[in-house]
A = this chain, B = another copy of it.
Amino acid sequence: MHQSKDREHLALERMLFFSDAVFAISITLLILEIKVPSVQQEFSELQLGHALLQMTPKFVGFLISFFLIGQTWIEHHRICSFLGGYNFGLLWRNLWLLLFVVFLPFATALLSEYYFSRVAICIYSVSFAGLGFAKVSFWHHAIKKHLLAKDSDANQSDRISRRVWATPITSLTVVIATAVGIPYAYCGFTLIPLIALLLDRTVARK
């Protein structure tokens, strides 16, 4: 019996490790999209500095995606620290979640290249919304199938149930904001941590 528990634990750990690895590779691949600028053979320091400055949208895109993926990983980490078991439905939902994580480096590269394009912003925020919905579905499946650890704090898991909606809602807001104007869309991305914070406090107050 004890051995069987150990193996259950190992199987759960593997799902987490596999996810960690996908998150880690995805977050690191972001840098591969930023190529070293090529300037003429005889160049001044000024020209290199200028070439790097012109790459600003790439660096900004890299930073936005790094922290959005990072925040998603932290949230995945928090959610999974409540898990006490798993089933194959959870593995599949996790795979869906990872699909969007894997897709993000492409969406980021597209956004960095065409940062003034509505199509690019939409693809980026839709794929981020997809990630958010996959996370919601992952968490609700865990609750519905009683996969949370028995000693987990009900109050805390309630807070997560709310907080988990922050990403999909904000991302959809960004999609709508894009219709109004591109600068509004970029403001939208900064809303994600703010909404998350608000949801956290609302629950904490009760």
Contacts and interface: CB of A to CB of B under 8 A. Distances in A.
Contact of A52 (B25, B119, B151): B119
A81 interface: yes
Contact of A113 (B13, B25, B36, B150): B36
A66 to B, nearest CB: 6
B10 A16 contact: yes
A57 interface: no
Chain A, interface size category, equals 35 or more
Contact of A149 (B3, B29, B74, B88): B3
Contact of A102 (B6, B28, B74, B151): B28
Majority DSSP secondary structure for residues of A touching B: helix
Nearest to A111: B36
A27 interface: yes
Interface stretch (A91-99, A135-143, A161-169, A183-191): A91-99
A87 B21 CA distance: 21
Contacts of A13: 10
A29 B26 contact: no
A28 B25 contact: yes
A11 B77 contact: yes
Interface string A2-29: 0110111111011111101111111111
A102 B49 CA distance: 21
A7 B80 CA distance: 9
A81 B10 contact: yes
Given A4-B151, A30-B102, A110 B45 contact: no
A31 B73 contact: no
A99 B117 CA distance: 27
Contacts of A114: 48
Interface of A: 1, 3-4, 6-11, 13-18, 20-34, 36, 38, 45, 48-49, 52, 63, 66-67, 70, 73-74, 77-78, 80-81, 84, 88, 91-92, 95, 98-99, 102-103, 105-106, 109-110, 113-114, 117-120, 123, 149-151
